[in-house]
Structure 1
Amino acid sequence: MDQQLLVFLTVVEQQNFSRAAEELHMTQPAVSQYIQSLERATGAKLLERSNKYVRLTKAGEIVYHHAKEIVGLYTRMQNLVDDLQHTASGPLSIGASFTYGEYVLPHIIAHLRTNYPMITPTITIHNTKEIAAMVVNHQLDVGIIEGFYNPGNERVVVEAFAEDVMYVVVPAGHRFAGRQEVDAREMCDEAWIVREMGSGTREVSERFFRTLPQMPNNLMEFGSTQIIKESVEAGLGISLLSEWAIRKELLLGTLHMVCVAGVPPVKRHFSLVRQSTPFQTKALEVFLQLLREDEIYPAFRPKAE
């Protein structure tokens, strides 16, 4: 691997030459020499530095973006070569959107670690759009996203692999709690708590709202499913949430599912996003096979009220 790029990435991410030198087990003058050498090779100043900060120049931003991709490709190449001689092992970088990442993925990782202890996963949780972008930029080996979001890049493959059902949920004591069905017109007058734009959950919520007589005009945007659940329990409003996310609250009776008359259950798919390549590490192959095993998902189905 090009040592100049590795040193450059470390300086940028540590935002400090001294911390970068410590992480790389090098002297600070040696780090400075690598940066100067890279700047001479590129013919541009890459970093603005002072006693207090290190910042990327415009040219530095370009080099940083491509250096991340180059280092990611090199690491992947080395892992593939290592796999020829070994069983499934090594690092596996996984990204997931919030619902799947917070409520399903931990159980799958536990299974993975029990059966393949030499695989060392790292997890990134973000919204669907950001996870897809990180796969495109080789920052993740695989992403799990909501829906069938297409990042618009021919280098990646998007594959639906699991189905999720979403329900309107209300807090205990709400006027809808305990009713067999609620008229769709009543839904329009409620305060709704929704995810931010760019979230797969938000896209499904918008699709659900289009089935109502009119668009609800009282929407509050929150940045995670957990915050939304807490807010619904506190009586701030109602929401449309994944069945996987509300299992515990249904059992405890703090949330109640509501059926909307004339509106079918809201379904969506979770999809895998990965690089379009015939070569995969054994660690990634094992993980993908595990995700595709249908017997994992019935455990996450809540009991109907």
Structure 2
Amino acid sequence: MRLSYLREFVTLASYTKLTAAARALHMSPSTLSQHLAAIEREIGCELFSREGGFALTREGETALEHAQKIMFEYNELLRDCAVGGDAALRLSFPEFDILEPPIAAAREAFLAKHPGTKVILSSNEYDFEDPLEVLEDGLSDVSILFLVRGASRRIESTVPASIAWARIGSYHCVFARTPQHPTAGKSTLSAAELDRATVIAALNPVSSIIMEGVAEKLAEHRISIQVLYKRILRNSEAFLKHLDDEYVFWLEPMEGAPGDFDLPDYPCARFEGELIADAYLLYRPSSLNPLQREYLDLVSELYFPVSADQ
């Protein structure tokens, strides 16, 4: 049984409504329903009663207790393996993240200085992990968050006091499309061209947070967009499959910010109002040992220095 299915089961048990749980997991209700059916087939019993919502059956209540214990033990396993012995750091990043290359470069530089240590780099693609939850649950020592500048969700109110943060770069919010797209050939998109457009974003909590801010800022210009979340991989071939009459959302590095992914053969355009997302490095200072602090400093040094101006 896939561990992610168990987490989805636990989430559905807390929401009791399929659509609400699917929204929280950033997946479609049909996909969540299929995963639940797979769990029930493997266990051999119904976990929910489908009459008037999703209420746990007696077997479901028993299964929930076991699932919660399994998830707790799994978190403990990751924590012990990540910080025990000679381990140095566990770092997570979104599946589509353009910050992965410089983070990997920091890992190689650190290992050259401290051979024999362990640095665990993990993508959160398999469980749709929230960047704050992986820190609070002890699954990671460092994570990354993007917030749209000027939107209501700000870093000071988003991150709890137990988590420290540092802004490490800024990015233009851009929209990719094929050369055949009606707006092809333009470097900026007007309100009329973007209004009621379909925008495809990667399927993970980080994208959801970014698109929340994008939609909010576009609403100030009386622009309404429909957002579709899909598993978009980090290469132009995967992007091309989704580029038809729709836009694919991406981030373009500014001010020398890290990121080596681009679409050189396909046009990208910024909204004429200029939407900017800031990237933040998140970490739990109380949990970092000296080696971890040294590694964190090394990661920060690889990023272009940014001003404190927001």
**TM bracket, shorter-chain basis:** 0.5 to 0.7
| CA separation of 1:141 and 1:267: change in aligned 2, threshold 3 A | same
Larger gyration radius, structure 1 or structure 2: 1
Q: Deviations over 1:118-156 (max 9, x none)?
A: 332222222785232121111212222223386765543
Report 1:5-154 matches (<5 A). 57-64=63-70, 66-67=72-73, 90-98=87-95, 99-100=97-98, 102=100, 104-126=102-124, 130-147=130-147, 148=155, 153-154=160-161
Q: Paired residue for 2:280?
A: 271
Report 1:209-224 matches (<5 A). 209-217=218-226, 219-224=227-232
User: Cα distance, 1:215 vs. partner?
Assistant: 0.3
State the distance in 1 between where 2:68 and 2:196 align. Answer: 49
**Structure 2 length normalisation: TM-score?**
0.58
User: 3-state DSSP class of the match of 1:94?
Assistant: strand
Q: Paired residue for 2:295?
A: 287
User: Cα distance, 1:74 vs. partner?
Assistant: 6.1
Say whether residues 1:195 and 2:202 are aligned partners: yes
Q: Paired residue for 1:302?
A: none
Structure 1: state its 5+ residue gaps: 1-11, 14-51, 80-88, 299-305
Structure 2: state its 5+ residue gaps: 4-41, 44-59, 148-154, 306-310
State the distance in 2 between where 1:291 and 1:267 align. Answer: 23
State the distance in 1 between where 2:182 and 2:199 align. Answer: 15
User: Cα distance, 1:216 vs. partner?
Assistant: 2.3
**Structure 1 length normalisation: TM-score?**
0.59
Q: Paired residue for 1:157?
A: 164
Matched pairs, number: 233
State the distance in 2 between where 1:249 and 1:153 align. Answer: 33
| CA separation of 1:178 and 1:285: change in aligned 2, threshold 3 A | same
| CA separation of 1:175 and 1:285: change in aligned 2, threshold 3 A | same
Q: Paired residue for 2:184?
A: 177
User: Cα distance, 1:94 vs. partner?
Assistant: 0.9
Q: Paired residue for 1:257?
A: 268
Identity %: 9
Q: What is the RMSD of the two structures over their aligned residues, measured on CA atoms? A: 4.0
Contact 2:144/2:279 (<8 A) preserved: yes
| CA separation of 1:287 and 1:179: change in aligned 2, threshold 3 A | same
Q: Paired residue for 1:237?
A: 246
Contact 1:170/1:238 (<8 A) preserved: yes
Q: Which amino acid in 1 is paired with 2:103?
A: L
Contact 1:172/1:233 (<8 A) preserved: no
State the distance in 2 between where 1:68 and 1:125 align. Answer: 16
State the distance in 2 between where 1:234 and 1:73 align. Answer: 40
